[in-house]
Amino acid sequence: MSTTTKAAPIVHTPDFMNGDEFRIPVFKLLKQDGSPYKNAKLPDLDKDKALRIYRAMLFTRVLDERMLAAQRQGRLSFYMQCIGEEASVIGSTAALDDEDMIMAQYREQGALAYRGFDVDEFMNQLFGNEHDYGKGRQMPVHYGSSKLHYMTISSPLATQIPQATGYAYGQKMAGQGHCTITIFGEGAASEGDFHAALNMASVHRVPVIFLCRNNGYAISTPAHEQFSADGIAPRAFGYRMKVIRVDGNDILAVYQATVEARKLAVEHNQPVLIEAMTYRLAAHSSSDDPSGYRSKKEEEAWRDKDPVLRMKLWLQEKGWWSDDDEKREQESLRRDVLEAMKRAEKREPPELDTLVSDVFDEVTPILAGQLDDLKAHIRKYPEAYPKGAKSLNGKDAGGAKHA
Amino acid sequence: MSTTTKAAPIVHTPDFMNGDEFRIPVFKLLKQDGSPYKNAKLPDLDKDKALRIYRAMLFTRVLDERMLAAQRQGRLSFYMQCIGEEASVIGSTAALDDEDMIMAQYREQGALAYRGFDVDEFMNQLFGNEHDYGKGRQMPVHYGSSKLHYMTISSPLATQIPQATGYAYGQKMAGQGHCTITIFGEGAASEGDFHAALNMASVHRVPVIFLCRNNGYAISTPAHEQFSADGIAPRAFGYRMKVIRVDGNDILAVYQATVEARKLAVEHNQPVLIEAMTYRLAAHSSSDDPSGYRSKKEEEAWRDKDPVLRMKLWLQEKGWWSDDDEKREQESLRRDVLEAMKRAEKREPPELDTLVSDVFDEVTPILAGQLDDLKAHIRKYPEAYPKGAKSLNGKDAGGAKHA
Amino acid sequence: MPKMNMLQAINDALDIAMAANDKVICFGEDVGIFGGVFRATSHLQEKYGRDRCFNTPLVEQGIVGFANGLAAQGSTPVAEIQFADYIFPAFDQIVNETAKFRYRSGDLFNVGGLTIRAPYGGGISGGLYHSQSPEAYFAHTPGLKVVVPRNPHQAKGLLLGAIRDANPVLFFEPKRLYRASTGEVPEEDYELPLGQAEVTKEGDDITLLAWGAQMEIVEKASELAEKEGISCEIIDLRTIVPWDVETVVESVLKTGRLVVTHEAPLTGGFAGEIAATIQQRCFLYLESPIARVTGLDTPFPLTLEKEYMPDHLKVFEAIKYSINY
Amino acid sequence: MPKMNMLQAINDALDIAMAANDKVICFGEDVGIFGGVFRATSHLQEKYGRDRCFNTPLVEQGIVGFANGLAAQGSTPVAEIQFADYIFPAFDQIVNETAKFRYRSGDLFNVGGLTIRAPYGGGISGGLYHSQSPEAYFAHTPGLKVVVPRNPHQAKGLLLGAIRDANPVLFFEPKRLYRASTGEVPEEDYELPLGQAEVTKEGDDITLLAWGAQMEIVEKASELAEKEGISCEIIDLRTIVPWDVETVVESVLKTGRLVVTHEAPLTGGFAGEIAATIQQRCFLYLESPIARVTGLDTPFPLTLEKEYMPDHLKVFEAIKYSINY
Ligand SMILES: Cc1ncc(C[n+]2csc(CCOP(=O)(O)OP(=O)(O)O)c2C)c(N)n1
Ligand SMILES: Cc1ncc(C[n+]2csc(CCOP(=O)(O)OP(=O)(O)O)c2C)c(N)n1
Ligand SMILES: [Mg+2]
Ligand SMILES: [Mg+2]
């Protein structure tokens, strides 16, 4: 056993390296006008799939627009937009098998839309009503879908990254040819969990794809205060992991890179890191105002690289999409979103019992007692707890007990 | 603002890198026979300093030998040897200013010996007696010395690495030209704390040297089950940090590399990673038996690269050391260690009051009450608590109280 | 005296601490030019420079690890954790390192200069991960002080006290009150003592004990109770560790009844410690069981947050139950 | 029935679990060919292959993160943390992720298959970092089950119960007993129930409650007490969460007295929760204050470990104090 895996060359002068010795290029296929670069070989993407992708992009834009507006109107407590990063999340998802697992951060609604999460499913989560799969427990945008193989979002950053390694290890053991993709920001990549995940994936040869959306900011913190290196990509060398950097606003490049990454993962049990260079065009969230930490000019420069527009221009060049199609689709999406929002707002809150269910597989005696006490209390003060009182209607009244 | 710091080249084919594109060489100066490599420019090391280094190496060997024997005889509960890695820890320490801070892992007694921790100071800690600076609270080998700028060892791995970054940041603010070195194993480098430390050091331009002793094993886990990459060094590229790999059994190479690293740190606020390639010749600790996880043959191959012998041969070539000197030094060191051990064993245990001091700067009322109760209890059953009873002798007896 | 909200009071305390001692250094995620997501560090970078107030990379274990080292070196770091829910990646650095630094080294080294600030608590539609009250985790860890202020005046004085205390302090700020709680705050530099509870209202029939945002709740409950002729004594614990046992004991010896409330779940919450200690110290004087009014033993919910919270009505019911026992 | 020590019983349970279900996967630092630093996973790699029993890199947050994902996928991971003292780097993954996985997703996803094993406790000259008893940290976290066995027979049955339980379980093993505790252990596959305390000895005058290695201590103390004519009822809590309140209440209603003991520090320890609950449930029946015999509110010491430990003499004194109250 040697303590490094290669027979290293020997030198007699103390020279230091720092990574400037090599360059990590950016993989691009489409120019902003929708035409391919010279020499670029575009992926095989048939019309149906291309339109499925593009429709998911449009839906995501419309959803973001409408829901931010709803938040501004006070109809929604909180919202986070994907705008600017649609190609990164949708292009990568489209390259996977629909049964591959996705473990995302929070800004990846496009991936879920592509998989077929419908507008009511989005709305029920955003409004935390009785039909929310998450039973109204998490803040808006914390979607999840087991049938679509989309892990429920968790707010603590980067925790899903080593989980993705573990999930994919299980897929490898199951032997059905599936992999996991985990998507996260360049800020989250600073967490210890990121490093644990990459190292373990590499050592244990796990079919997992790590997709970093390097969008320039973590809330107000610019990437150059997050790390000194040339992006996230060179971290892969620390684990001898395959890595590629891609133009995150170039849907075809992201797609193609992910197709190749998936092959490495599934066919060779080689984990892969993809760094998608992109930009968070919106504020971090509905609670944020970026004017305090970055310039309009910078934002404008990136607005000119709009990934949705780039794909539209490509589709138009192919003759698969027209301005008319665009208009019709936009209008219908807006209508769908608004109607679904109205439906979701009107739905009941989750049942009171959901306060104590799912802590364990069964409600423990202590929790059952706490629920009973709570019910008795709410019966005493129904006006103070309108949501809880609703779910007690028509049920028998119990005496007050106190813990 | 761009999201990477260099204007990256553009490519149109999805090629993956993994670090095999470049090689990280090993810096060496001395061959095993003590002669320099051709073309090697040896550092300026005067005789006094060379002998100070060598004596620290010999002391460390003798200490390790004797204390492991003492552990086997049941005189000591636990011990960890440095054998095989003396050049890495002593060579680096010798390259620093004596007032630079050292934050080590546990296998770096050589560094402390070089700084001048005396044999009684070692023994008092090992036996946890009343003179132990740590007041008998930590296991053997958890040394510390504020006057020698050697941070008290803490068992949880890698926690000292981000602390070193913070400590060095404070040194930079203080502006007195000091830096911090943190020394750790290749196993510890898997912890999230390692990554946090390097990234923060790089972003905040902190005068800290990260010295990884890559000794091939973390207890039973070989390096190739710890990571897939070519050692620890390539991780530096993830932070655009200066890095050098050095033959950890070559005292002059380690020394020279650290001299250069210190310049980068102190004069340019450039943190540096040094990977010292070495081998843990002994068992992990006195509780371990390596025969279950590695071969004698492998051990022998490394025994042939003995760093202490290599330095001795160099010193002899220089005419600074003779076999006679060696014999005399060895004998006197053995005597010193044995006598100090006897003294340390005979010393009293720490005072009972040390059970509750240093939790806070002052003993809180709750702790004072707990100590009173304990004293009353021990007065009742002095035979059951011989150490505690000692420190109560001659003090007034209180009534029993129970919490 | 100027009127301030709690954020302003905290910002003022940091400003005063940094002006008075150039070893005070503030850092954390987004605390630099942005002034923190709640703006508690507004203008500090402008005033004291990027070396003394800066953004860190997004890594809590690194933030606290760095802070531990900086404190050991002799500086006075004030680290911000963006939400108390995100303090757990730093748990090892806090519980195994910060807390044990002085003890394990026999006081050769200590991190007494360290303060860790974090907004905690519910009532802001934050769901599982923007609502937690983790004080009990740290209260079980010898070597840490834990402080929670109830209003702007307390926040300023206790934070200055915490920064200057010779021990590491976790300072949990009730974020629900950041803007909601306003009051007069002295302009000058002042410290409030750590380790001392405050009797904010005297009364005879029952003792109500809380800290932080729950103080508002017990005050409201006590108003309801007073209307029914129940005289409440209210205590703000202020420091969770080391807690002021004697002030609580003295009060309960007088009233014979105790209600403790916190937002954190019941099981293993700090009210349990208080109840265990007080039943032991006041056994013969207790006229009814010590009551705990707390969050449920579940993660923190969103839509049904109101139902979950230990509000004034729940405290009021506990008071009546205790009185009528 | 074969005689085994606790390590053998644990190894046997893992072997049976892996043989019965090929979704059971064991991993952690040094658990592979070496069989773990205590040898709890001996021969498992040999028998079940490197895919199902393997060394991980040295990163606890990664071990538990990986385990969470593997459990979510539907496997049954059994992760080892080498010492309970080193579980804290994984605290965020356990407390924010493992514990909340099912709740936050509305049961779309869960990590019910997960078991985390870790040796805990003192008495082995381990000092600060090889002696801690962290059960109370986890007991304050809704969504986790916490189990501690007292002997080889219990260890095997409870570990099999834990691995097969539909919830994530932390399984803390009293390492002081690994080799010291031996006894007859059935060869076959059997499970002991989680969430149920066990009355190991009936008695009338006082209830003694403990778990894990402290069970030996209370047994010794009870022998001393019996000699003085005090009849002790002994309960092994076995599962810390969800704890079996009714069994304890029933006993205390009968005896009127309770001593709880654990090695962890007093403040915020789980004895506080028990005392708080029992004083409330048994208020009118208690004849003396509930006593807690615990570690001091300090980090764990080395040379004076014997003085620090809540041993049988301290429990015995607490019994007498309670009886004579
Ligand atoms: C562990 C943790 N720390 C802090 C936060 C608060 N927080 C939420 S989002 C965010 C920035 C994330 O930036 P990045 O990963 O780059 O993703 P982006 O928002 O740019 O998509 C922070 C600090 C958190 N959610 N979790
Ligand atoms: C956080 C943490 N996890 C686990 C351990 C147990 N442990 C002690 S030493 C060790 C191996 C360390 O290996 P390495 O860092 O390579 O140092 P070496 O012993 O080779 O010098 C382990 C796993 C620990 N002390 N701390
Ligand atoms: Mg970002
Ligand atoms: Mg090693």
| pLDDT in 10s for each residue of chain D, 325 residues | 899 999 999 999 999 999 999 999 999 999 999 999 999 999 999 999 999 999 999 999 999 999 999 999 999 999 999 999 999 999 999 999 999 999 999 999 999 999 999 999 999 999 999 999 999 999 999 999 999 999 999 999 999 999 999 999 999 999 999 999 999 999 999 999 999 999 999 999 999 999 999 999 999 999 999 999 999 999 999 999 999 999 999 999 999 999 999 999 999 999 999 999 999 999 999 999 999 999 999 999 999 999 999 999 999 999 999 999 9
C242 cis-preceded (ω within 30 degrees of 0)? yes
**For the CA of A105, the nearest ligand:** 1
B156 inside 8 A of chain D by CB:
yes
The dihedral built from the CA positions of residue A16, A21, A27 and A28, taken in this order, carries a sign that is positive
Q: Does one domain contain both D206 and D147?
A: no
Task: Give percent above pLDDT 90 in chain B.
Answer: 95
Q: Residue D270's Cα: distance from chain center in Å? A: 12
pLDDT for residue B1 is more than 70: no
Q: How far apart are CA A80 and CA A288, in angstroms?
A: 10
Measure B246 CA to nearest chain D CA, in Å: 23
Q: Does one domain contain both C237 and C279?
A: yes
Q: Does one domain contain both A254 and A364?
A: no
Q: Give how far Cα C42 sits from Cα of A242, A366, C172, Å.
A: 42, 45, 18
Q: Does one domain contain both B193 and B214?
A: yes
Q: Does one domain contain both C102 and C29?
A: yes
Task: Look up the CATH number of the domain holding residue C292.
Answer: 3.40.50.920
Q: Does one domain contain both D139 and D270?
A: no
Joined together, the tokens standing for residue B112 give 């402390």
Q: Does one domain contain both C165 and C209?
A: no
At A342-364, the pLDDT tens digits run 999 999 999 999 999 999 999 99
pLDDT for residue B398 is more than 50: no
Return the pLDDT at C214. Answer: 98
Task: For residue C190, tell me if it sits in a domain.
Answer: no
D140 inside 8 A of chain C by CB:
yes
Among the three residues C184, C206, C227, which one is the final residue of a domain in this structure? C184
If one counts the domains in chain B, the total is 2
Q: Give, using CA atoms, the residue closest to atom 25 of ligand 2.
A: B156
pTM for this entry = 0.98
Does the annotation mark A293 as catalytic? yes
Q: Which residue of A has its CA nearest to D245?
A: A366
Give C-chain residues touching B161 at CB under 8 angstroms.
65
Task: For residue C165, tell me if it sits in a domain.
Answer: yes
Task: Give me the amino acid identity at D34.
Answer: F
Inspect the interface and report whether the beta carbons of C140 and D139 lie closer than 8 Å: no
Q: How far apart are CA D310 and CA D325, in angstroms?
A: 21
In the block, residue with structure tokens 């029920």: A124
Q: What is the mean pLDDT of residues A377-398?
A: 83
Inspect the interface and report whether the beta carbons of D66 and A166 lie closer than 8 Å: yes
- Whole-number Å distance, alpha carbon D207 to ligand 3 midpoint, is 57
Task: Give percent above pLDDT 90 in chain A.
Answer: 95
With contact defined as beta carbons under 8 Å apart, do C275 and C292 qualify?
yes
Q: Does one domain contain both D177 and D248?
A: no
- Whole-number Å distance, alpha carbon C62 to ligand 3 midpoint, is 18
B391: confidence class by pLDDT, cuts 50, 70, 90: confident
DSSP H helices in A283-363: 296-303, 307-318, 323-346
Task: For residue A183, tell me if it sits in a domain.
Answer: yes
Task: For residue C134, tell me if it sits in a domain.
Answer: yes
Task: For residue D89, tell me if it sits in a domain.
Answer: yes
Q: How far apart are CA A378 and CA A364, in angstroms?
A: 21
With contact defined as beta carbons under 8 Å apart, do C120 and C172 qualify?
yes
If one counts the domains in chain D, the total is 2
A145 inside 8 A of chain D by CB:
yes
Give the burial class of B42: count Cβ atoms within 10 A of its Cβ; 0-12 exposed, 13-18 middle, 19 or more buried.
middle
For D232, phi then psi, to 5°, come to -105, 135
A6: confidence class by pLDDT, cuts 50, 70, 90: low
Among candidate residues A268, A293, A328, A335, the one labeled active-site is A293
- Tell me, using a 6 A CB cutoff, whether residue A155 lines ligand 1: yes
Q: Does one domain contain both B318 and B358?
A: no
Among the three residues C160, C184, C208, which one is the final residue of a domain in this structure? C184
Task: For residue C189, tell me if it sits in a domain.
Answer: no
- Tell me, using a 6 A CB cutoff, whether residue D29 lines ligand 2: yes
Q: How far apart are CA A312 and CA A302, in angstroms?
A: 17
Q: Does one domain contain both A149 and A235?
A: yes
Q: Does one domain contain both B248 and B355?
A: no
The edge-to-edge listing of strands for the beta sheet with D291-295 is D198-201, D232-236, D206-210, D258-265, D291-295
Return the pLDDT at B6. Answer: 54
The dihedral built from the CA positions of residue B216, B222, B225 and B228, taken in this order, carries a sign that is positive
Q: Does one domain contain both C33 and C170?
A: yes
Task: For residue A234, tell me if it sits in a domain.
Answer: yes
Show the low-confidence residues of chain C (pLDDT under 70): none
Q: Does one domain contain both D97 and D232?
A: no
With contact defined as beta carbons under 8 Å apart, do B136 and D302 qualify?
yes
3-state secondary structure chain C: CCEEEHHHHHHHHHHHHHHHCCCEEEEECCCCCCCCCCCCCCCHHHHHCCCCEEECCCCHHHHHHHHHHHHHHCCEEEEECCCHHHCHHHHHHHHHHHHHHHHHCCCCCCCCCCEEEEEECCCCCCHHHCCCCCHHHHHCCCCCEEECCCCHHHHHHHHHHHHHCCCCEEEEEEHHHCCCCEEECCCCCCCCCCCCCEEEECCCCEEEEECCCHHHHHHHHHHHHHHCCCCEEEEECCEEECCCHHHHHHHHHHHCCEEEEEEEECCCCHHHHHHHHHHHHCHHHCCCCCEEEEECCCCCCCCCHHHHCCCHHHHHHHHHHHHCC
**Domain ranges, residue A376:** 351-403
Q: Give, using CA atoms, the residue closest to atom 11 of ligand 1.
A: A218
Give B-chain residues touching C166 at CB under 8 angstroms.
360-361
Among the three residues B330, B346, B362, which one is the final residue of a domain in this structure? B346
Joined together, the tokens standing for residue A287 give 């609670």
With contact defined as beta carbons under 8 Å apart, do B208 and B180 qualify?
yes
CB neighbour burial string for A84-95, b if at least 16 within 10 angstroms, e if fewer: bbbbbbbbbbbb
DSSP letter for D181, please: -
Q: Does one domain contain both C32 and C140?
A: yes
The dihedral built from the CA positions of residue B287, B291, B294 and B299, taken in this order, carries a sign that is positive
Q: Give, using CA atoms, the residue closest to atom 3 of ligand 2.
A: D86
C58 inside 8 A of chain A by CB:
yes
Q: Does one domain contain both A243 and A337?
A: yes
**Rounded (10°) CA dihedral D30, D34, D39, D43:** 120
Return the pLDDT at D308. Answer: 98
Measure B142 CA to nearest chain A CA, in Å: 26
**For the CA of B107, the nearest ligand:** 2
Does the annotation mark B280 as catalytic? yes
Q: Does one domain contain both A394 and A250?
A: no
Q: Does one domain contain both C168 and C50?
A: yes
End-to-end CA distance of chain C: 45
Task: For residue B11, tell me if it sits in a domain.
Answer: no
Among the three residues D135, D156, D184, which one is the final residue of a domain in this structure? D184
Give B-chain residues touching D130 at CB under 8 angstroms.
139, 155
Q: Choose one of A157, A161, A183, A194 to mutate for the ligand 1 pocket test, by most ligand atoms within 8 angstroms of C-beta.
A: A157
Q: Does one domain contain both D208 and D116?
A: no
Measure A198 CA to nearest chain B CA, in Å: 10
Inspect the interface and report whether the beta carbons of A239 and B227 lie closer than 8 Å: yes
Q: Does one domain contain both A321 and A388?
A: no
At D253-270, the pLDDT tens digits run 999 999 999 999 999 999
Return the pLDDT at C21. Answer: 98
**Domain ranges, residue D111:** 3-184
Give the position, in ligand 1's atom list, of the atom nearest the Cα of A156. 26
Give the position, in ligand 1's atom list, of the atom nearest the Cα of A85. 21
- Whole-number Å distance, alpha carbon B216 to ligand 4 midpoint, is 5
Task: Look up the CATH number of the domain holding residue D107.
Answer: 3.40.50.970
Task: For residue B18, tell me if it sits in a domain.
Answer: no
End-to-end CA distance of chain B: 62
Give the position, in ligand 2's atom list, of the atom nearest the Cα of B158. 1
Task: For residue A3, tell me if it sits in a domain.
Answer: no
With contact defined as beta carbons under 8 Å apart, do C58 and B199 qualify?
no
Task: Look up the CATH number of the domain holding residue A58.
Answer: 3.40.50.970
- Tell me, using a 6 A CB cutoff, whether residue C62 lines ligand 1: no
Q: Does one domain contain both C159 and C213?
A: no
- Tell me, using a 6 A CB cutoff, whether residue A262 lines ligand 1: no
Inspect the interface and report whether the beta carbons of B162 and C61 lie closer than 8 Å: yes
Q: Does one domain contain both A309 and A377?
A: no
Q: Does one domain contain both A328 and A384?
A: no
Return the pLDDT at B392. Answer: 87
> Within 13 Å and on the Cβ side, how many CA atoms surround B9?
8
Q: Does one domain contain both A237 and A363?
A: no
- Whole-number Å distance, alpha carbon B215 to ligand 4 midpoint, is 5
Task: For residue B69, tell me if it sits in a domain.
Answer: yes
**Per-chain mean pLDDT for chain A:** 95
- Tell me, using a 6 A CB cutoff, whether residue B367 lines ligand 2: no
Return the pLDDT at A402. Answer: 38
Task: For residue C13, tell me if it sits in a domain.
Answer: yes
Task: For residue B258, tell me if it sits in a domain.
Answer: yes
Q: Does one domain contain both B243 and B166?
A: yes
Task: For residue B21, tell me if it sits in a domain.
Answer: no
End-to-end CA distance of chain A: 62
- Whole-number Å distance, alpha carbon B65 to ligand 1 midpoint, is 51
Does the annotation mark C140 as catalytic? no
Task: For residue D205, tell me if it sits in a domain.
Answer: yes
A156 inside 8 A of chain B by CB:
no
Among candidate residues A131, A142, A213, A284, the one labeled active-site is A284
With contact defined as beta carbons under 8 Å apart, do A20 and B262 qualify?
no
C321 inside 8 A of chain A by CB:
yes
At A154-213, the pLDDT tens digits run 999 999 999 999 999 999 999 999 999 999 999 999 999 999 999 999 999 999 999 999
Among candidate residues D60, D80, D97, D219, the one labeled active-site is D60
